[in-house]
Amino acid sequence: MKLARQIEVVHQVTDPLTKVLDIYVQWTRRDDMGNQHRDRQQDDEYFNSSYAQADINTAEAVQTMIWELKEIHRWAINKRCGITTLWRFPNAVFADVLVVAEEILTAKMKEHSATRDYFK
């Protein structure tokens, strides 16, 4: 008689910062998605979704927060999100700057009404 192996299920929990930044990245690429052929049904499903406006509000708030950062921190967040691949600051270590930028951005997101619910 064979014994069944027990498989451990591991749930991957994304941190709130990553979740909010994913919404922001999807929003920044919305114009690029418009160049692809999508049928009318896909457009209707997205725009009629009850979450679409909340995502747009979240993304616009994140964009404002990112633009309020210093340039070096803004570039670090954009590089983290894949919006840019270039690192313009040869005298600064990307990993070190990213940690500081994430801390500043997380503090701003916890206070903003469009993003604070993600951090509860």
At 16-42, the pLDDT tens digits run 999 999 999 988 887 555 555 454 555
For 65-116, write each residue's pLDDT tens digit: 999 999 999 999 999 999 998 899 999 999 999 999 999 999 999 999 999 9
What's the pLDDT score for residue 53? 82
What's the pLDDT score for residue 49? 64
Q: Is 76 exposed, middle or buried (0-12, 13-18, 19+ CB in 10 A)?
A: buried
Domain map (residue ranges) of the chain: 16-29+39-119
Could you tell me which residue, 6 or 41, shows the higher pLDDT? 6
DSSP one-letter code for 117 = G
pLDDT > 60? residue 43: no
Distance CA 59, CA 53 (A): 10
For 44-59, write each residue's pLDDT tens digit: 555 556 567 888 899 9
Distance CA 24, CA 16 (A): 12
